[in-house]
Amino acid sequence: MNDISNYIDHTNLRQDALESEMIDLCEQAINFGFASVCVNPVHVQMVNSILKHEGPKTCTVIGFPLGADSSEMKFAEARFLVHQGAEELDMVLNVGALKQGELQVIENEIGQVVDAADGNCVKVIIETCLLTREEKIVASKIARSVGANFVKTSTGFSSGGATVEDVKLIRKTVGEGMGVKASGGIRTLDQLRSMVSAGADRIGTSSGVEMVS
């Protein structure tokens, strides 16, 4: 395995997170060489001002955590945040639409965010804990077909997080040409290694410092 720091999206998506915590998050990401700092939209501009000449990318979330926004709202949010300095966008798909078989809705909203991202990285959160095996496969295939860069397992705010089995299934579905991000409940180095062995390229976690220290 390569340096584990390269896999980590250093994350703080708590609703009560303070600006001082965002500054600490950025400093830790720079010091440890994490892939990105993932924060709520309100913090993007400040985080980007710290990271713009550093290694870690500025990552934020779209339609988070429920995915229950229209395609137009997700497009607008994504476009605005890219202009604010976001370099990676983790969007939550419309789970209800997926479960109702409204696949055109899913294709459209992911495509809208990919368009709004203007070449920046898009990760599609499919919320695996709410899906059947077939729904996970369908969602992953759609994300790949419309040009997203990653399929991500979870928000970490629903009834479950990443599992090795889901990471393996997504990797098998999308092949080697697309990223897979495991997120939700990953707190130890052993868990990280298991997810990477299963096929994950990125790990979303708030425990990155503990893992590499």
Rounded to whole angstroms, the Cα distance separating 191 from 84 reads 33
Residue 125 has pLDDT above 60, yes or no: yes
Known catalytic residue: 74?
no
Query: Is the distance from CB of 181 to CB of 151 less than 8 angstroms?
Result: yes
DSSP assignment of 135-180, as one string? HHHHHHHHHHHTT-SEEE---SSSS----HHHHHHHHHHH-TTSEE
pLDDT above 50: residue 1: no
Q: Which domains does the chain have, with CATH numbers?
A: 4-212 (3.20.20.70)
Residues 184, 162: contact at Cβ < 8 Å?
A: yes
57, 74, 123, 152: which one is catalytic? 152
| pTM of this structure | 0.97
Q: What is the pLDDT of residues 80-111, one digit of tens each?
A: 999 999 999 999 999 999 999 999 999 999 99
Q: What is the mean pLDDT of the chain?
A: 97
No. of helices (H) and no. of strands (E), the chain:
9, 8
Which of the following is catalytic: 9, 57, 74, 90?
90
> Is 152 part of the annotated catalytic residue set?
yes
Instruction: Report the largest interatomic distance among the alpha carbons of the chain, rounded to a whole angstrom.
Output: 45
CA separation, residue 83 to residues 48, 71, 77, 80 (Å): 11, 18, 10, 5
Q: Is the pLDDT of residue 138 over 50?
A: yes
Per the annotation, the verdict on 181 as an active-site residue is: yes
Closest of 44, 64, 11 to residue 202, by C-alpha:
11
Share of the chain above pLDDT 70, in %: 99
3 vs 29: which has the higher pLDDT = 29
CA distance 29 to 27: 5
Mean pLDDT score, 136-158: 98
Q: Residue 2: what pLDDT?
A: 52
Question: pLDDT by residue (tens digit) across 158-199?
Answer: 999 999 999 999 999 999 999 999 999 999 999 999 999 999
Q: Of 57, 74, 123, 181, which residue is the catalytic one?
A: 181
CA distance 25 to 54: 13
Q: Summarize pLDDT for 107-117 with one digit per residue, the tens.
A: 999 999 999 99
Average pLDDT of the residues in 137-153: 98
